[in-house]
Structure 1
Amino acid sequence: MKKAISIFSGGLDCTVATSVFSKSHKIHAITFNYGQKAFKRELKASKEICKKMDWTHEVIDLPWLANISNSSLNTNEKIPELSAEDLDNLKISQESASSVWVPARNTVFTSIALSYAESIGASSIIVGWNGEEGATFPDNSKGYMKKFNELIKEGSPENIRIEAPLIDLDKEEIVKLGVEYDAPMELSYSCYKGKKKQCGICESCMRRKRAFKNLGIKDKSEYEN
């Protein structure tokens, strides 16, 4: 069976993306600790999902990234709270994305995943990058993925590719795909704030909640709001 590295936060997107490859690849999931407020909850979700799916799991600490970041994800700055209407307002969404931006996060994560892929003979790096978030996060975009794959082809002696099965999908389509592949979405944790129950009002929670609601599918996660 082929091997794959999954950049895995325990969130909805990476859970669905990794589940797509689960039957055809032996999964080695990596969860990064960069001082984010939600790390403990992300770790709990990641461990539970990996145990259920029989995926290998590892944590990598990046204290230096926490030290240089001024993101609201890992500082005392307040995480933005959005209304349902705000999600389709590009200006507000861009402001929210700017607040939670961690310097070169996906570039750092993917570079480390590439190193792991080379070391264990993995052919794929699975990511949860998707079309909906790619509109405001440049390191979630199809163009970014294309350039990174070109970089790997140029700079790695191994035949390794980034695989992003959600790259053209919005959240509703992601949830549909999760149902199709029987992804353990009920164990995933998407909230930026890191509370026991997901807050329900940060951008990540709002996009998740809207997708399940619009599809008429029950989200078994617990929310404060």
Structure 2
Amino acid sequence: MTTASASDALALTASSFLRENLEHAQRACITSSFQAEDVAVLHMVLQHQPQIPVIFLETGYHFPETLAYRDRIAAEWNLNLVNVEAEQSVAEQESQFGILNQTAPDRCCGLRKVEPLFRALGAYTTWVTGLRRQQSKSRANLQPHEFFTLPTGKILAKLSPLTEWTTRDVWQYAEQHSIPLLPLYEQGYTSIGCAPCTSLPFDENDPRSGRWSGRKLECGIHLQAH
């Protein structure tokens, strides 16, 4: 099988998976950081549910390039964009707790990403993500269809159709469909989150090695409540 046909087969499988699982989903949403895999899966999802809510975590710490790109894609694709914010503004949080992304990054992620997202997800029954196993060793056991329990006890169907995709697969899909990607990739970034906690990768074999200065692997939004 040629590279192109293999890529087409992956895309067909992922799209079929989405169609089957979204067809009877009562209230579905998709989260997007507007990184390459998130935009690729969003492109697929829109073919089945053009007005699906697209949840973006507006932490107040994003790169200007990320926000500009989000707005560009939202306009060009006519997205039903839902910007989810923390209860406190950045200024209020820093006034009360100091610069948590420097002193306690887990706490900062909890306040600005995890808690706001889990509140927002309470309105849905199905959650689509762009997660891939290759992204991190913490995602090595990721399954395309999982059940995710929120702190309230509510259980969501969590769909990750790109589970087995490589970075190359994602970029090939974007190229084949003429999807522009976040310009920060051109500067050498391989995993992009909030600006204070994102740097160029220091391990070429670990695309997430530039996140949180290597102090942790996950912000917490994909970790089950216990």
TM-score, normalising length: structure 2: 0.54
Q: Give 5+ residue unaligned stretches, structure 1.
A: 78-97, 119-123, 209-225
Whether contact under 8 Å (2:63, 2:194) holds in the other structure is: no
Alpha-carbon distance in 2 for matches of 1:131, 1:204: 17
Alignment partner, residue 168 of structure 2: 172
The RMSD of aligned alpha carbons is 4.5
Give 1:145 deviation, angstroms.
7.4
Q: Equivalent residue of 2:38, what SS?
A: helix
Q: Distance in 1 between matches of 2:148 and 2:103?
A: 37
Aligned equivalent of 1:184: 179
- Aligned residue in 1 for 2:200: 201
Question: CA separation of 1:150/1:9 partners in 2, compared to 1, >3 Å: closer, same or farther?
Answer: closer
1:163-197 Cα distance to aligned partner (Å, 9 max, x none): 212222221122223345x26233565645749xx
Write the letter of the residue equivalent to 1:186.
Answer: L
Alignment of 1:152-167 (within 5 A): 155-156=153-154, 160-167=156-163
Instruction: Indicate the structure whose relative CO is greater, using CA pairs within 8 Å and at least 6 residues apart.
Output: 1
Structure 2 gaps of 5+ residues are 1-21, 185-190, 209-226
Q: Separation in 1 of the partners of 2:116 and 2:141?
A: 17
Q: Secondary structure at the match of 2:181?
A: helix
- Give the TM-score of the pair, scaled to structure 1: 0.54
Number of matched pairs: 168
Aligned sequence identity (%):
11
2:216 corresponds in structure 1 to none
| Contact 1:4–1:117 under 8 Å retained in 2 | yes
**Alpha-carbon deviation of 1:43?**
2.2
Separation of aligned partners in 2, 1:105 and 1:145: 27
What is the deviation of 1:60?
Answer: 1.5
Q: Distance in 2 between matches of 1:31 and 1:155?
A: 23
